[in-house]
Amino acid sequence: MAEAKLSGIKDNRWSLHGMTALVTGGTRGIGHAIVEELAEFGAAIHVCSRKQDDIDKCLEEWKKKGFNVTGSVCDVKHRDQRLKLMETVSSVFQGRLNILVILNHSS
């Protein structure tokens, strides 16, 4: 696929400007790649990971790239943490979530 850049965002017909996304497991592997693709298309993204260090490292990297990404710690195995994550995401995105990507990176 040809990747035309328009004002730092990929081809406008695929623009996700104004869209919001939650990516669980977004700090590693395929999740990390998905976050970068969504961000390149203009989406605002929230990631969660079990490790704050992983989140901090990725947020620093994404900030340098100009991506709009936030993050919080959550182990999605635990219901109470999932509920807290949804409260956080609702607050960050003012109650609006367009894209949900759930990845299982359990070890």
Asked whether the whole model's pTM tops 0.75, one would answer: yes
1 pLDDT more than 50:
no
Q: Convert the pLDDT of each residue in 58-84 to its tens digit.
A: 999 999 999 999 999 999 999 999 999
The confidence score (pLDDT) of residue 8 equals 54
pLDDT in tens, 5-37: 445 555 677 899 999 999 999 999 999 999 999
pLDDT at 84: 98
Domains along the chain? 20-102 (3.40.50.720)
By CB atoms closer than 10 A (0-12, 13-18, 19+), residue 46 is: buried
Cβ-based neighbour number of residue 9 at 10 Å: 17
